[in-house]
Chain A
Amino acid sequence: KQEVTQIPAALSVPEGENLVLNCSFTDSAIYNLQWFRQDPGKGLTSLLLIQSSQREQTSGRLNASLDKSSGRSTLYIAASQPGDSATYLCAQVMEYGNKLVFGAGTILRVKS
């Protein structure tokens, strides 16, 4: 059974802190892993996609890593800002059909 778990479920930090969001998956036949951001009442915005052959991807203040052997991915956000407040979702990308299996998300609040 394909399962994706995200920890913590919610996180509140002061502005400027560096933080780490965790994602674990059970299916070792992972193809890609994708991190998204969802703002309240809005759709999903793709942040980073890590191919199974890669170990990390970076975009601005965001860095995502992938460890297939342990079934884990982390999203690192440097120097957090109030505008980073959102729900962060990780999704395991299954090979067949590019199907995304989502975690329940981490609700992040960055306080100014």
Chain B
Amino acid sequence: AQKVTQAQTEISVVEKEDVTLDCVYETRDTTYYLFWYKQPPSGELVFLIRRNSFDEQNEISGRYSWNFQKSTSSFNFTITASQVVDSAVYFCALRGISSGSARQLTFGSGTQLTVLP
């Protein structure tokens, strides 16, 4: 069975602060994918990143960075110099590729990030 845990239900920061959203996962698959999605108040789900389990390089995209630690089964997401427009619910998700779990995204419960001006 797969499980994704986002222990932080809500986070509030002041604009320009850095913030890290935690994601811990469980899977029996040796190969899997990890995802982060952003859901702003309008409701659409915006794809941010996909990371393969065999690629442990950290990734940076503008103000966003991701820290994948296979040893601790974590895939944390950091926003540097946060902005009000970053306010949204952020979901971490996992997809294994073994038979029976192929292509099913398992989502965490989400973290509501509020960036205050």
Does A pair with B?
no
Task: Give the A-binding residues of B (Cβ under 8 A).
Answer: none
Residues on A facing B (Cβ under 8 Å): none
